[in-house]
Structure 1
Amino acid sequence: MSKPVAYSVKAYSAASATSPLAPASIQRREPTDRDVQIEILYCGVCHSDIHFARNEWHFTQYPAVPGHEIVGRVKRVGPKVTKFKPGDIAGVGCMVDADLSCPFCRAGEEQFSPTHVQTYGSTERHIGGPTFGGYSENIVVNEHFALRIPANLNLPAVAPLLCAGITTYSPLRHWQVGPGKKVGIVGLGGLGHMGVKFARAFGAHVVVFTTSPAKKPDALRLGAHDVIVSRQPEEMKAQAGTFDFILDCVSAEHDLNAYLAMLKVDGNLTIVGAPEKPLPVAVFSLIMGRRSFSGSMIGGIRETQEMLDFCGQHGITSDIEMIRMDQINEAYARMLKSDVKYRFVIDMASLKS
């Protein structure tokens, strides 16, 4: 197979770990047989984008183009594509390619495949160099990794579902959250507010843990039944040992053992936030109640489509604030201060202007 032709598109990229994001030109490939080319309409801003741009996970290649919460319009398709046609609306999350032949891919868990190609931070399989994310005019992905968007949902507010949505949906489904279960959501940010919406839609009793008493009204508005201020020892003590499942959505340093103490016997705490530094876990926090501590990332493509369809059925989207592309550095600064309710989404038409 001949190497696909590369072409230039506009983007915003970081030139180094300390430089602000700025206008740039990057290379995309022409679609191969199974590819779709998508004009990006909206791109969510994830905390992982900041980690990546600033090389806080120590694998970033520069120039770095973040963005893996993508909603757009299909412009071109390869000759063997059957899933989409030009004009269709499609979503792209954290993966854009894989060989699709390994056991994980065949099981619908492409996120665990050793061959999966991340939307940014991987190596482009066809033209070489790093993969570039959604802070750009368009993107080319294998059709398998493009997702159908329910027609009744607000497109800008769908974008964060492609990461924040599936990141919270997947562990809630895996641990069988539903009626009769008491579920805690730690942190009411971009991930946490989606966890609240999903846990409530699944029929669980939902409790938000937050360090800020001011977030209580919003937590209740989003669907929580109760709110615990984690800095108040008496509130924590009153509900110790009563939770079936806790989803930890915090990306900053915090005390995991305080939340493990909230679990019942055989309860589970799953972390989806990604703190920069390791967090200590005391062995007795686990063994005294046969509790378990686990992690989760995104879901596979099949589960992500299931999540989008569920959102269509229940009218679930992210709470967002729209920004222009040239406001991205300000948005990063505000995210680090938790000054957003609850997810920034870039109107990518602003990149063209």
Structure 2
Amino acid sequence: MATTTVKAYGATASTEDLKPLDIERRSVGTDDVKIDITYCGVCHSDIHTARNDWKGSTYPVVPGGHEIIGRVVEVGNGVSNYKVGDLVGVGCLVDSCQTCSSCEQDLEQFCEKGATWTYNSPDKHIEGAQTYGGYSTSVVVDEKFVLSIPENLDEAGTAPLLCAGITTWSPLSHWKVKKGDKVGVIGLGGLGHMGVKFAHALGAHVVMITTSPEKGKDAKRLGAHEVLVSKDAEDMKKHQGSFDFILNTIPVGHEMDPYLGLLKIDSTMVLVGAVEPLKPFHGGSVIGGRKRIAGSLIGGIKETQEMLDFCGEHNITSDIEIIDMQDINKAYERVTSNDVKYRFVIDMKSLK
């Protein structure tokens, strides 16, 4: 297949900083959409992949696979949903088999034959190549994996919705969080701040659960009705057995028992952050109230579009700090030391 060379930023080894690279993008096929990238969010997964923390990176790695925003500049002959000039997005997925039971249920993220992730996946279209993410000037994607962005939303602030947004929206939607539910959001970072915004917009009574009392003011600005400091034993006791749903965004292994004690009978805590071993927890914490611990991974394309449409109706975007592409290595250091409120977004004009 014919290819085009485009500018990008990537890592050529796990120990190296990101630097300018030239990469190959496929030419536009029948069902493809070519997107001129205007903004790209920075996700912690980008850092894990660039540094090979998960031991599956193939170099060169071009991260930025989860939060791509741009304008359509070319479409294939078979494309019916998009036209040149449309504001669109690309999230974590750019392909799946489309035929397995997961794909048929619009759960492409659980494709039984293996989804094609936006970066660091084998590229089905260019033999021997892998997919490259959004730290680049343009991308070509099958129209089935392109998302329509409401024009009323801020472009840059919309980018993190495609990862941090859908990661928190999907469990709230799947477990049918509704008006009047008492919802806890543990951890106020890139994921947690979106969880607070969504739960508030769904009409829930939102409690921000944090180890840091100083985050309370910001949590309330974002839509939390109360702040529960998990280190405060008296406060934790007051909230025992009172939550309908808890969204747990803590990114590392941690003690589960204190949080399980907050759930009502028959209620659920969903993990979206800790992709690593958890500390042992007491079986009685779940047996004693027929409670559930569940997990959730992003969302399918249909659900992601539903989330974006909801954001358009409620004017919800992420709280961001815009950076130039050339500042990415500094941004990585700040992300790893929790020094961002709440997501970095790259202005891709700086690469062009």
Tell me which interval the TM-score lies in, with the shorter structure as reference length: over 0.9
Looking at structure 2, the residues matched to 276 and 18 of structure 1 have their Cα atoms a distance apart, in angstroms, of 22
**2:117 is the counterpart of 1:118:** yes
Give the corresponding residue for 1:237: 237
Q: CA deviation at 1:197?
A: 0.5
Give the corresponding residue for 1:98: 96
Could you tell me the percent identity over the aligned residues? 57
Give the corresponding residue for 1:19: 16
TM-score (norm 1): 0.96
Say which SS state the counterpart of residue 24 (structure 2) adopts: strand
Give the corresponding residue for 1:268: 268
Give the corresponding residue for 1:39: 36
Give the corresponding residue for 1:76: 74
1:218-297 equivalences in 2 (<5 Å)? 218-297=218-297
Looking at structure 1, the residues matched to 55 and 207 of structure 2 have their Cα atoms a distance apart, in angstroms, of 35
Say which SS state the counterpart of residue 351 (structure 2) adopts: helix
Looking at structure 1, the residues matched to 33 and 275 of structure 2 have their Cα atoms a distance apart, in angstroms, of 34
Looking at structure 1, the residues matched to 17 and 69 of structure 2 have their Cα atoms a distance apart, in angstroms, of 24
Gap change, CA 1:253 and 1:115, over 3 Å in 2:
closer
Say which SS state the counterpart of residue 111 (structure 1) adopts: helix
**2:218 is the counterpart of 1:215:** no
Q: CA deviation at 1:214?
A: 0.9
Say which SS state the counterpart of residue 184 (structure 2) adopts: strand
Give the corresponding residue for 2:175: 175
Q: Where do 4+ consecutive residues of structure 1 move more than 2 Å?
A: 274-282
Alpha-carbon contact 1:89-1:148 (below 8 Å) kept: yes
Structure 2: gaps (5+ residues): none
Q: CA deviation at 1:279?
A: 3.7
**2:202 is the counterpart of 1:202:** yes
1:81-127, CA deviations, whole angstroms, 9 ceiling, x for partnerless residues? 11111111110000011232222222211111124211012110010
Say which SS state the counterpart of residue 38 (structure 2) adopts: strand
1:19-72, CA deviations, whole angstroms, 9 ceiling, x for partnerless residues? 111111111111211111111100001111111111112211111111120000
**2:54 is the counterpart of 1:57:** yes
Q: CA deviation at 1:74?
A: 0.8
What one-letter code is carried by the residue in structure 2 that aligns with 1:340? Answer: V
Looking at structure 2, the residues matched to 154 and 291 of structure 1 have their Cα atoms a distance apart, in angstroms, of 39
1:181-213, CA deviations, whole angstroms, 9 ceiling, x for partnerless residues? 110000011000000000011111100011111
| 1:28 aligned to which of 22, 25, 29 | 25
Q: CA deviation at 1:280?
A: 2.7
Looking at structure 2, the residues matched to 115 and 47 of structure 1 have their Cα atoms a distance apart, in angstroms, of 22
Looking at structure 1, the residues matched to 233 and 269 of structure 2 have their Cα atoms a distance apart, in angstroms, of 19
Give the corresponding residue for 2:330: 330
What one-letter code is carried by the residue in structure 2 that aligns with 1:116? Answer: A
TM-score (norm 2): 0.96
Task: Let me know the Cα RMSD of the aligned residues.
Answer: 1.2
What one-letter code is carried by the residue in structure 2 that aligns with 1:343? Answer: R
Looking at structure 1, the residues matched to 228 and 238 of structure 2 have their Cα atoms a distance apart, in angstroms, of 10
Looking at structure 1, the residues matched to 333 and 264 of structure 2 have their Cα atoms a distance apart, in angstroms, of 38
What one-letter code is carried by the residue in structure 1 that aligns with 2:305? Answer: Q
Give the corresponding residue for 1:187: 187
Q: CA deviation at 1:229?
A: 1.2
1:320-345, CA deviations, whole angstroms, 9 ceiling, x for partnerless residues? 00000011111111111211111100
Alpha-carbon contact 2:253-2:274 (below 8 Å) kept: no
Looking at structure 2, the residues matched to 234 and 76 of structure 1 have their Cα atoms a distance apart, in angstroms, of 59
Q: CA deviation at 1:215?
A: 0.6
1:225-284, CA deviations, whole angstroms, 9 ceiling, x for partnerless residues? 100111222221221111111001111232122211111111111011034444433322
Structure 1: gaps (5+ residues): none
Q: Which moved more, 1:249-258 or 1:33-42?
A: 249-258
Alpha-carbon contact 2:7-2:136 (below 8 Å) kept: yes
Alpha-carbon contact 1:74-1:85 (below 8 Å) kept: yes
Looking at structure 2, the residues matched to 209 and 143 of structure 1 have their Cα atoms a distance apart, in angstroms, of 39
What one-letter code is carried by the residue in structure 1 that aligns with 2:45? Answer: S
